[in-house]
A and B are shown apart, each in its own frame.
Chain A
Amino acid sequence: MKEKKSVKSSDKHQSGHVSSFKFAKLFDPEAFWDKDQLGDVLHWIRQIVALVCGLLWGSIPLVGGIWLVSFLLISSGIIYGYYAIILKVDEEEFGGHGSLLQEGLFASITLFLLAWTLVYSLAHF
């Protein structure tokens, strides 16, 4: 049975991007997460996946709209796997699956398209 964690409101957490953040916390299912912190982590994971996929898709190259759809499925799958399986967070405490899955989504799509297009154009023409 999946253990659910609740949000612990931390007085020590400062709003904004600067906070005492330990890298080990990224893979610690026992760690407590603030909504802002988790949202930021999910955002950056999406951007990294977008960049890697864009560079890869453009280099091979993979051509066609289907590969945009595959990127969306892969990146959403990674995000879901991260917060549900690795971190084991209770998504209800963070606004539901929709709220977590949409963190950084649009920026990642544009970043992916940019990387994919640039690498494809420069490497194959």
Chain B
Amino acid sequence: MASLFSTFRYSDGLTVVGISFCTALICEAISWLLIYRTTSYKSLKSSIDKASKKLETMKTDSTVAAAPKKSKTKKIDRVETSLKESSRDLSLFKFKSGGVVALVLFVVFGFLNNLFEGKAVAKLPFVPARIVQKMSHRGLQGDDPTDCSMAFLYFLCSISIRTNLQKFLGFSPPRGAAGAGLFQIPDAAKTN
């Protein structure tokens, strides 16, 4: 098995993916322990879901009506404010407990950095934009922009594996939460 592994010039890329996958599992286990199984999280998530559904219904009714009443508009504002407050409380709650996850990610990143410093772990099939090259060519010798550093591969692994793992396990943030925009990035990945 080891000799098969060594025949690939960029087998280190598989190592990075493997370690990222294990790290994602550990981080989700820690998150479940500290965040997802707590009653505070469950009640906040439930209130956000209810408030966002209620808001949707109220907004749909007000657009259908020819002239929405002032009281209706006020009610919508109240529900929106309540939703924003719950979303803020949820973010704050996750942030406080997410420190442990951030520490694990930091340690793993440091470990991988020591292991693969100055080494191209993969070959990119495209030339990345200059701003992306700051990460994709980080710490590498030479001028070949298609050499891929551990940092960029780890970034790709973090986002793709953790997002899908959270989705699969049902730990994704509620859709109604404020700030869930175009890019739904897992919270701890932002600390990388």
- A residues within 8 Å of B by Cβ? 9, 15-18, 35-36, 39-40, 43-44, 47, 57-58, 61-65, 67-68, 93, 102, 104-107, 110-111, 113-114, 116-118, 120-122, 124-125
Interface residues of B (CB under 8 A from A): 8-11, 13-14, 17, 45-46, 49, 53, 56-57, 60, 122-127, 148, 153, 155-157, 159-160, 163-164, 167-170, 174-175, 182-185
- Give, as a whole number of angstroms, the nearest-CB distance from B159 to chain A: 4
Q: Which residues from chain B contact A15 at a C-beta distance below 8 Å?
A: 45-46, 49, 174
Which of B122, B148, B164 has the largest number of chain A CB atoms within 10 A? B164
* Docked complex Cα distance between A124 and B13 (Å): 14
The residue on B at minimum CB distance from A60 is: B125
Residues of the B chain whose Cβ atoms lie less than 8 Å from the Cβ of A35: 56, 175
Q: Count CB-based A-B contacts (< 8 Å).
A: 98
Is there contact, CB below 8 Å, between B123 and A117? yes
Query: CA A11 – CA B53 in complex, angstroms?
Result: 12
Please indicate the chain A residues that have their CB under 8 angstroms from the CB of B9 in the complex.
Answer: 121, 125
Given A40-B167, A117-B122, A65-B14 contact (CB < 8 Å): no
- Residues of chain B lying within 8 A (CB to CB) of residue A64: 125-126
Contact assessment for A121 and B13 in the assembled complex, using a CB-CB cutoff below 8 Å: yes
**In the bound complex, what is the Cα–Cα distance between A110 and B183 (angstroms)?**
11
B125: contacting residue among A9, A17, A117, CB under 8 A: A117
By a CB distance below 8 angstroms, the chain B residues around A118 are 13-14, 17, 122
**Which residues of B have CB within 8 Å of A44?**
167
Known: A105-B182, A106-B184. 4 other contacts (CB 8 A): A9-B53, A107-B160, A110-B163, A118-B122
Q: Are A114 and B126 in contact (CB under 8 A)?
A: no
For the complex, give the distance between the alpha carbons of A40 and B171 in Å: 13
How near does chain A come to B105, taking the closest CB pair, in angstroms?
Answer: 16
Measured between alpha carbons, how far is A64 from B183 in the docked complex, in Å? 24
Q: Given that A106-B182, A114-B153, A125-B10 are known contacts, is A120 also in contact with B123, CB under 8 Å in the complex?
A: yes
